Structure 1
Amino acid sequence: MGMPLSERLGVDIHRAELELMAAKRAAVEPAGLTVPQYAALFTIAENAGISGAALARSCQVTPQAMAVVLRHLTERGLVERAPHRWHGNVLETRLTEAGRTALALADERAGEIERAMAEELDEAERAQLRALLGRCTAAIDRAAQAQRQRGV
């Protein structure tokens, strides 16, 4: 049957991710946001004028998924989009005052979740966790690539 469930790291990683996403969902809800909307607002705040395609890459979602998020944010008046002054087919995205207000509330609450995780580990442990997760990601990529090459 393969590896027992108790030895599968994916289960532990998935459990931690589910807990994190549930906590963040509850944290950003009072600001009237979903986690993807919060991530988009946060990224736009850090990169004023970002295009939808670049925003999708930064938030690790498809351009189609980001288009839906941006449509909702625009309809709610949290972001504004205008043509780039040199590349008219590219829309630049910026936060509105209402968007900055919603982001501030959501980020205060989501930041508490992030700080709780960070405070559980010292600086060396945080660096080690990032390195270990990076190695896991690389191993996953190698295994998936090997399967594709074998046609599995």
Structure 2
Amino acid sequence: MGVEERIAEKLDPRLGTHLKRAEVALMAEKGRVLKPFGLSVPQYAAMHALSVAPLSGAQLARVCCVTPQSMTSLLSTLESKNLVERTPSEVHAQVLIARLTRSGHAVFRKANEAALAVEARLSAEFEPEEEERLRALLARAVKVLGEGG
């Protein structure tokens, strides 16, 4: 048995290995379908949140599960592509509020169709009861890990 097989044998029983593999596969496929729109998965996630409501960079970072520094860089890139604009908050002049531009909304709508098709393909692999159970199991995993042990 080779080294890779021995490593796989040790990792396979670990639940985290399977969660990570699923996440990596999903992000890779979303990345593939978003590439024609010039978007990365994190950029798409930020645009998705902004399609719901304008947000500050800090709010977006929390929603998208990235650091504020990463979000600042991501927003600068989206702004340079004219997909997002940032204006001072009416409440706090030091805080910039990001919102999708008209072209940002157009790109998001098309990119969202592609991302939704990936998720539909994934959902199609499960019976409705299985998908509901999977969602519940993943929610439990998030809850227990979020409690910090």
TM-score range, shorter chain: 0.7 to 0.9
Q: Tell me the residue number matched to 1:118.
A: 123
State the one-letter code of the partner of 2:86: R
**Which residues of structure 2 form unaligned runs of 5+?**
1-8
Structure 1 residue 73 corresponds to structure 2 residue 78: yes
2:67 and 2:144 map into 1 onto residues whose CA distance is: 23
Alignment RMSD, CA only? 1.7
**Greater shift after overlay, 70-79 or 100-109?**
100-109
Contact 1:24 1:113 in 2 (8 A): yes
Q: Secondary structure at the match of 1:94?
A: strand
Q: Tell whether the 8 Å contact from 1:83 to 1:90 is kept in structure 2 after alignment.
A: yes
The whole-number CA distance in structure 1 between the counterparts of 2:73 and 2:121 is 31
CA offset at residue 133 of structure 1? 1.3
Q: What TM-score results when the alignment is normalised by the length of structure 2? A: 0.86
Aligned partner of 2:134 among 120, 129, 133: 129
Structure showing greater relative contact order (alpha-carbon pairs closer than 8 Å, 6 or more residues apart): 1
Q: What secondary structure sits across from 2:124 in the alignment?
A: helix
- TM-score, normalised to structure 1's length? 0.85
User: How many equivalent residue pairs?
Assistant: 141
Cα deviation for residue 127 of structure 1 reads 1.9
Q: 1:100 aligns with which of 90, 93, 105?
A: 105
Q: Percent identity?
A: 41
Question: How far is 1:81 from its partner?
Answer: 0.6
In the alignment, is the contact (CA less than 8 A) between 1:44 and 1:94 conserved in 2? Answer: yes
Encode CA deviations 1:3-41: one digit per residue, 9 max, x unaligned.
943311112111111111110000100001111111111
Partner in structure 1 of residue 22 of structure 2: 16
Instruction: Tell whether 2:80 aligns with 1:84.
Output: no
Runs of 4+ displaced beyond 2 Å: 3-6, 134-142
